[in-house]
């Protein structure tokens, strides 16, 4: 994990972090809130620095941890993983579904969503391929995870990853996608990248790339990427990140009073 991609607005400040996953349970009678810890992440095989969660019809939780999992020089430490949590008795059992390798499969996942087909889709901020915007650890990926088609014969049954797109960075593509994806009714995917697009000192935190909004459209068994919007670092803002509190939009970040543009929310 790198300081640029982990520190701003993130809970993954380093590999030694111990994140706490929790849920607020509403008491039906007293209408009070009870804080319950479901899992204390250790930074090992269970991950570290988890993001937001999603839940299936059976009440199982799914999420991504930016750190933990496998160690690799391609990941600047550990590569992160996607996990599932299932209620068991009075507690919860965490099962890793996929450990990222830090190569072409990606590294540093930031969240997952259910797609129209019921499988998991997400982004990795790093890994994929070398690019103009981030030459050391890769520009990031969009991926899909699906369970094994055959019955699992063990408690640990890893899912199969497919990379839908590897970002190239530079002026013609985005780099370092962060936050959750969204689908439209036509099954197109949308997301935001922290870098790539326009290069200007106005977007000068870390690298001087301003970021993009990207679209992935299914085509002949694959996916075609386009950039509906490229940020300029002016009034439109720069370096978009998904607003997890509203679940509606990417919000460009602001650096100081003039740099990185204004604080505008961009709805699709």
The residue assigned the tokens 């993130």 is 10
Mean pLDDT of the chain: 80
Q: What pLDDT score does 240 carry?
A: 84
73 pLDDT higher than 90: no
Fold entry, domain 3-253:
Neuraminidase (2.120.10)
77/83: higher pLDDT? 83
Q: Quick one: average pLDDT of 11-21?
A: 41
Query: Which of 152-156, 169-173, 251-255 is least confident?
Result: 251-255
Pairing of strands 61-67, 48-55: antiparallel
60/236: higher pLDDT? 60
Q: What pLDDT score does 5 carry?
A: 39
Query: Which of 96-100, 175-179, 213-217 is least confident?
Result: 175-179
Q: What pLDDT score does 119 carry?
A: 95
7 pLDDT higher than 50: no
The residue assigned the tokens 């391609």 is 74
Q: Are 155 and 164 in contact (CB under 8 A)?
A: no
Q: What pLDDT score does 121 carry?
A: 97
pLDDT in tens, 212-248: 999 999 999 999 999 999 999 888 888 887 554 444 4
Q: What pLDDT score does 72 carry?
A: 87
Q: Quick one: average pLDDT of 76-94?
A: 93
Backbone angles phi, psi at 176, to 5 degrees: 60, 70
- Which span out of 32-41, 77-86, 174-183 was modeled with the highest average pLDDT? 77-86
Q: Are 64 and 84 in contact (CB under 8 A)?
A: no
Name the token pair of 139. 């520009």
Burial of residue 90 (CB within 10 Å: 0-12, 13-18, 19+) is exposed
pLDDT in tens, 105-147: 999 998 899 999 999 999 999 999 888 765 578 899 999 999 8
Q: Assign 11 a pLDDT band (cuts: 50, 70, 90).
A: very low
pTM: 0.80
Question: So where are the chain's domains?
Answer: 3-253
As a whole number of angstroms, the distance between CA 142 and CA 106 comes to 8
Percentage of the chain beyond pLDDT 90 is: 52
């Amino acid at each position: 994990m790198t300081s640029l991609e982990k520190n701003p607005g993130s809970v993954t400040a380093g590999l030694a972090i111990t994140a706490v996953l929790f849920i607020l349970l509403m008491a039906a009678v007293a209408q009070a809130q009870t804080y319950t810890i479901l899992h204390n992440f250790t930074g090992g095989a269970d991950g570290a620095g988890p993001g937001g969660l999603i839940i299936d019809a059976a009440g199982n939780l799914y999420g991504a941890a930016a750190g933990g999992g496998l160690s690799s020089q391609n990941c600047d430490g550990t590569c992160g993983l996607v996990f599932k949590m299932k209620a068991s008795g009075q507690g919860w059992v965490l099962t890793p579904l996929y450990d990222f390798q830090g190569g072409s499969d990606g590294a540093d996942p930031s969240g997952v969503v259910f797609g129209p087909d019921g499988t998991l889709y997400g982004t990795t901020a790093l890994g994929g391929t070398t690019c103009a915007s981030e030459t050391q650890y890769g520009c990031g990926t969009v991926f899909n995870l699906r369970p094994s088609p055959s019955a699992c014969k063990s408690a640990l049954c890893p899912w199969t990853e497919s990379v839908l797109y590897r970002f190239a960075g530079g002026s013609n593509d985005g780099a370092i996608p962060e936050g959750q994806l969204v689908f439209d009714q036509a099954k197109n995917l949308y997301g935001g990248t922290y870098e790539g697009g326009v290069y200007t000192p106005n977007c000068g935190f870390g690298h001087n790339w301003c970021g993009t909004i990207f679209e992935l459209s299914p085509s002949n068994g694959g996916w075609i990427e386009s950039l509906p919007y490229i940020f300029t670092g002016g009034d439109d803002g720069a370096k978009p990140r998904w607003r997890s509190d509203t679940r509606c939009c990417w919000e460009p970040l602001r650096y100081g009073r003039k740099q990185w543009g204004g604080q505008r929310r961009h709805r699709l």
